[in-house]
């Protein structure tokens, strides 16, 4: 099948590479000339495990190509995915200007009947606006569908190739048949293909992310109760996660969610519910808890070391919002680091893959090191934001000898408190009692 994907960001690149891998001819189009030059040279601008090799293989096989000529990509394709960004506006609503600009270009460029699919995360009713924008430019028939993505950064290739489910919002049986054919290689083992109306598909994406975000904020609220009462949040998590009606996923307490999806999708869903007169207070609470949780580690450090951190070195392990990605959007680490800098601290940070991305946000206001141990010399405290694998079993003796004070604030509960006490650390985690004489 001839597939066009407009937008060569995270979603567009993963979808394009995976569709090409299954034998389709895929053109990925983007107006960013520098990005397209890099992609044609095999230089993938985002970090996603396995994506670079997948793109290289399909470029070499001539199943995948990149272009800045969106109109040509439209004319060459039977199915066109819109996968451009939908950043939040000032009021939290999704900004659809890029989506609708692509729709107008499709209408101006198409020469025969097309299936146009919104892959971007968009609020309910967007497909109707896309149809209106296309039909304002042409009389040629068009099918406008919704096919939301459910990709986890760091595991996107696996998620696309072996999806839990494929959600398709369609406007005709013809479009449904084409979509089934397109996704047939990915659902051979019986994964669910869900055909529904277009508005239902659009809501499903937001509802899924909002539900996961709710579980995270809920568990962080429970963690605070555990800290106040002396309970162990890990025991509570296991106790409720073993209930088959609840399950264990997304019940790990931490420093809050970040990234490109949960923050903006919760905000956008709140805005949509407000527009339709639906009470959104539960989701507003989810967002409020998350924003508060991002400040947890900073607040605890200030309680221990004081408001004035001038002359103090603070080490940070992990900058990306989660492991196996370099994504810094809405990362809790940014809240902590900005608070440290405002109080005069010297911040030395490590992340296995996100250092270059962090420089876009923090510039030269902090120091970056290539080794996690390189952040520790003279540090009054170590703050852990991201559960990268190399941080899980460090050399604690080496750490204690290197740091000025053996104080660890662990935002991901990587270590056992009893073990940390035996190693002589002052240790604070999320939802568990602190250890070490000076920690309060």
Active site residue 145: no
Q: Return the domain boundaries, the chain.
A: 2-186, 206-292, 294-428
From the list 18, 28, 145, 261, the catalytic residue is 261
Cα atoms in the 13 Å half-sphere on the side-chain side of 327: 20
Sheet holding 165-169, edge to edge: 64-67, 25-29, 2-6, 79-82, 114-118, 142-146, 165-169, 192-196
- Predicted confidence band of residue 35 (pLDDT cuts 50, 70, 90): very high
Mean pLDDT of 76-102: 91
Q: pLDDT for 301-319, tens place per residue?
A: 999 999 999 999 999 999 9
Token digits of residue 62: 């001539």
pLDDT value at residue 407: 97
pLDDT value at residue 2: 97
Give yes or no for a contact between 318 and 328, defined as CB atoms under 8 angstroms apart: no
Strand partners, 195: 168
- In this predicted structure, the answer to whether residue 121 has a pLDDT above a threshold of 90 is no
pLDDT value at residue 438: 53
User: CATH number of the domain at 206-292, please?
Assistant: 1.10.1040.10
Q: Return mean pLDDT, the chain.
A: 94
Nearest-angstrom CA–CA distance, 129 and 118: 11
Longest dimension (CA), the chain: 75
CA nearest neighbour of 313 among 331, 301, 322: 301
Other C-beta atoms within 10 Å of 113: how many? Answer: 11
Give yes or no for a contact between 157 and 48, defined as CB atoms under 8 angstroms apart: yes
- Predicted confidence band of residue 189 (pLDDT cuts 50, 70, 90): confident
- In this predicted structure, the answer to whether residue 135 has a pLDDT above a threshold of 60 is yes
pLDDT value at residue 86: 87
What is the chain's length?
440
Residue matched to tokens 């940390």: 420
Class of domain 294-428: alpha beta
Mean pLDDT of 260-289: 94
Tell me which of 426 and 93 has the higher pLDDT. Answer: 426
Model pTM score: 0.91
CATH homologous superfamily of domain 2-186?
Answer: NAD(P)-binding Rossmann-like Domain (3.40.50.720)
- Predicted confidence band of residue 439 (pLDDT cuts 50, 70, 90): low
- Same fold? 2-186, 294-428: yes
Nearest-angstrom CA–CA distance, 182 and 180: 5
């Amino acid at each position: 099948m001839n597939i066009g994907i407009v937008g060569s960001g995270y979603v567009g690149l993963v979808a394009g590479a995976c569709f090409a891998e299954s034998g389709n001819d895929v053109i990925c189009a983007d107006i960013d000339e520098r990005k397209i030059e890099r992609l044609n040279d095999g230089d993938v601008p985002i970090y996603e495990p396995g994506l670079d090799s997948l793109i290289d293989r399909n470029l070499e096989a001539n199943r995948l190509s990149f272009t800045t000529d969106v109109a040509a990509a439209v004319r060459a394709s039977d199915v066109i995915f819109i996968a451009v960004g939908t950043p939040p506006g000032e009021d939290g609503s999704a900004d659809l200007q890029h989506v609708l600009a692509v729709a107008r270009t499709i209408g101006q460029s198409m020469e025969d009947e097309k299936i146009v699919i919104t892959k971007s995360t968009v609020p309910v009713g967007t497909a109707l606006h896309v149809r209106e924008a296309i039909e304002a430019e042409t009389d040629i028939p068009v099918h406008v569908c919704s096919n939301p993505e459910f990709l986890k950064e760091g595991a996107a290739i696996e998620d696309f190739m072996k999806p839990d489910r494929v959600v398709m919002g369609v406007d005709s049986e013809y479009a449904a048949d084409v979509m089934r054919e397109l996704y047939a290689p990915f659902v051979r083992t019986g994964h669910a293909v869900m055909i529904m109306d277009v508005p239902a598909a659009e809501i499903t994406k937001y509802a899924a992310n909002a539900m996961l975000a709710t579980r995270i904020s809920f568990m962080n609220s429970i963690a605070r109760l555990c800290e106040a009462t002396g309970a162990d949040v890990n025991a509570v998590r296991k106790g409720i996660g073993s209930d088959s009606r609840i399950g264990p996923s997304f019940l790990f307490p931490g420093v809050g969610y970040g990234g490109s999806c949960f923050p903006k999708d919760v905000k956008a869903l709140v805005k949509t519910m407000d527009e339709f007169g639906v009470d959104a207070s539960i989701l507003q609470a989810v967002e409020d808890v998350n924003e508060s949780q991002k400040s947890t580690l900073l607040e605890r450090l200030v309680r221990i070391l004081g408001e004035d951190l001038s002359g103090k070195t603070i080490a940070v392990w992990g900058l990306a919002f989660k492991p196996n990605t370099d994504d810094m959007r809405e990362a809790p680490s940014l809240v902590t680091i900005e608070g440290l800098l405002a109080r005069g601290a010297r911040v030395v940070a490590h992340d296995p893959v996100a250092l270059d991305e962090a420089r876009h946000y923090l510039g030269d206001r902090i120091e970056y090191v290539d080794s996690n141990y390189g952040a520790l010399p003279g540090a009054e405290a170590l703050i852990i934001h991201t559960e990268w694998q190399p941080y899980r079993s460090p050399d604690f003796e080496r750490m204690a000898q290197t740091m000025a004070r053996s104080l660890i604030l662990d935002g991901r509960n990587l270590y056992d408190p009893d073990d940390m006490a035996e190693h002589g650390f002052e240790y604070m985690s999320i939802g568990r009692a602190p250890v070490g004489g000076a920690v309060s």
